[in-house]
């Protein structure tokens, strides 16, 4: 006897399993919204970086100390206190989009958002787009 599983029972990717396992319903819904936003902007597959970051693509960089490393081109982390959106190392140059973004705090190459309802998603989408273009221009990048 052949058993046909419904589409909803199809195996989930590691990213989908991570998002679906989030305890906080608001962070889960926001993460699903960010997955859709990043899919539109990046056209890259999502991957888990470490244990809590959802990242798209990768770029290689060398620090002042001479040590080389890699990081995601763009991504996000649904942390308890904030959603952390990882952008380009030079994202501070995108002042127009940062001014229209809404409530956020800046980090070194990221922004901290308490809730997606507090920001302009069109501005966030443009920030991700600009950040990706800048990173791809200034660093060696790859899709995975």
User: What's residue 92's pLDDT?
Assistant: 67
Distance CA 46, CA 61 (A): 20
- State the DSSP code for 51: T
DSSP tag of 88: -
Name the pTM for this structure: 0.87
CATH code reported for the domain at 13-142: 3.90.1150.200
d(CA 112, CA 119): 11
Q: What is the pLDDT of residues 31-86, one digit of tens each?
A: 999 999 999 999 999 999 999 999 999 999 998 899 999 999 999 999 999 999 99
Sign of the CA dihedral 6, 7, 10, 15? negative
For 83-138, the pLDDT digits (tens) are 999 998 876 678 888 999 999 999 988 999 999 999 999 999 999 999 999 999 98
Residue 10 pLDDT > 80, yes or no?
A: no
Nearest in space to 129 (alpha carbons), one of 91, 103, 92, 99: 91
61 Cβ contact list (under 8 Å, min separation 6): 68, 69, 70, 71, 89, 139
Comparing 6-15, 19-28, 94-103, the range with the smallest average pLDDT is 6-15
Paired residues of 138 in beta bridges: none
């Amino acid at each position: 006897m052949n058993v046909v599983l419904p589409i909803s029972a199809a195996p989930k990717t590691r990213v989908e399993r991570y998002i679906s396992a989030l305890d906080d319903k608001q962070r889960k819904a926001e993460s699903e919204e960010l997955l859709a936003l990043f899919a539109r902007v990046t056209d890259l597959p999502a991957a888990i970086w470490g244990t809590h970051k959802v990242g798209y693509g990768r770029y290689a960089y060398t620090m002042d100390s001479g040590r080389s490393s890699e990081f995601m081109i763009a991504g996000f982390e649904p942390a308890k206190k904030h959603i952390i959106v990882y952008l380009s190392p030079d994202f501070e140059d995108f002042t127009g989009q940062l001014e229209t973004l809404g409530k956020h705090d800046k980090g070194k190459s990221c922004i901290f958002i308490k809730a997606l309802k507090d920001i302009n998603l069109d501005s966030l989408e443009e920030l991700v787009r600009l950040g990706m273009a800048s990173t791809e221009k200034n660093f060696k990048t790859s899709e995975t």
